[in-house]
Amino acid sequence: MNLPTNERLLSCRDLRVFVDDKEIVKGVDLEIRTGEKHALMGPNGSGKSTLAAALMGHPAYRVEGEILLRGEPIAGLSPDERARRGLFLGFQYPVAVPGVTVASFLRAALAARLGREVPVREFRQKMQAAFDVLEVPKNFTGRYLNDGFSGGEKKRLEVMQMLLLEPAVALLDETDSGLDIDALKIVSAGVNLAARAEMGLLLVTHYQRILDYVQPDIVHVFMGGRIVRTAGPELARELETRGYDWLADPAPTATARG
């Protein structure tokens, strides 16, 4: 994938997201360019996960405003078409799919992303490389997707997908949720490997701890459905010390990017 340096990969303008008639996301401007790692931090119920899901095209949400992927509008596209075009969402709570093995799922996902069938040898090489990074045992491939998985196993599988699919932009919704410190280090190593120089990353999190391992270039604070502060990685450390209350009810920033 050869992308121009500092290309605008994902952007939204005045993005508003509704559940029925309730406005959850209230006019967000955001730009993610090649090589940028963004952290989106905020308290519970602020709308962070809703924003990520809306960018991916969750059908439960009504969206107003502009969403562009590599300069092309995607607001009218289904989630699977957005994924084919290079958008990836790692779920906070990955669902179990009994009857579908990990290997079958990953090979089908990779074929959909590439637009061609993937030879078995090529797929096995890619999958084994991802397994090695994430310290996943070989018998993982025959297990049913997320069925009976621990929290750490589910998150490792999410990052494994990211490694295999090589998206243009990855949206990771609370990847650190439910991880102990050892699992957090392993998953973070996988994220860092997958977050190549030519892609963009938006990491949604409550806490600063994952940002010790996946270091962001830009940190946004999301409160009340809006981005209320944007700064460098020092902002995450300040939030760890001071919490979010000191940012309550500020005037929203006009544009959120680096």
| CATH number of the domain bearing residue 236 | 3.40.50.300
Tell me the sheet residues that pair with 62.
Answer: 18
Domain around 62:
8-92+167-247
Residue 38 lies in a domain: yes
Tell me the C-alpha to C-alpha distance, in Å, between residue 102 and each of 140, 141, 154, 178, 218: 7, 5, 11, 21, 34
For the stretch 178-232, pLDDT in tens is 888 988 998 999 899 888 778 999 999 988 889 999 999 999 999 999 999 999 9
User: Measured in whole angstroms, how far is the alpha carbon of residue 184 from the centre of its chain?
Assistant: 16
Residue 87 lies in a domain: yes
pLDDT of residue 85: 95
Q: Residue 58: count other Cβ atoms within 10 Å of its Cβ.
A: 15
pLDDT of residue 5: 62
Number of domains in the chain: 1
Nearest one of 210, 91, 209 to 161, comparing CA atoms: 91
Residue 116 lies in a domain: no
Residue 121 lies in a domain: no
Looking at the chain, which runs of residues are DSSP E strands? 8-19, 22-33, 37-41, 62-69, 72-73, 87-90, 97-101, 144-145, 169-173, 200-205, 218-223, 226-231
Cβ atoms of 204 and 44 closer than 8 Å: no
Residue 171 lies in a domain: yes
User: Per residue, what are the HEC states of 120-184?
Assistant: HHHHHHHHHHHHHHHCCCHHHHHCEECCCCCHHHHHHHHHHHHHHHCCCEEEEECCCCCCCHHHH
Length of the chain in residues, anyone? 258
The token duo for 94 is 């990955």
Q: What is the pLDDT along the chain (258 residues), one digit of tens a residue?
A: 444 467 899 999 999 999 998 999 999 999 999 999 999 999 988 999 999 999 999 999 999 999 999 999 999 999 999 999 999 999 988 899 999 999 999 999 999 999 999 899 999 998 888 888 888 888 888 999 999 998 888 988 999 999 999 999 999 999 988 888 988 998 999 899 888 778 999 999 988 889 999 999 999 999 999 999 999 999 999 998 898 888 875 444 444 544
Q: Could you give the CA distance from residue 233 to residue 214 in angstroms, rounded to a whole number?
A: 11
pLDDT of residue 128: 87
Q: What is the pTM of this model?
A: 0.89
Residue 177 lies in a domain: yes
* H/E stretch holding 234: helix 234-242
Q: How far apart are the first and last CA of the chain?
A: 23
Biggest CA–CA distance in the chain, Å, is: 55
Q: Could you give the CA distance from residue 141 to residue 105 in angstroms, rounded to a whole number?
A: 9
Residue 36 lies in a domain: yes
Residue 117 lies in a domain: no
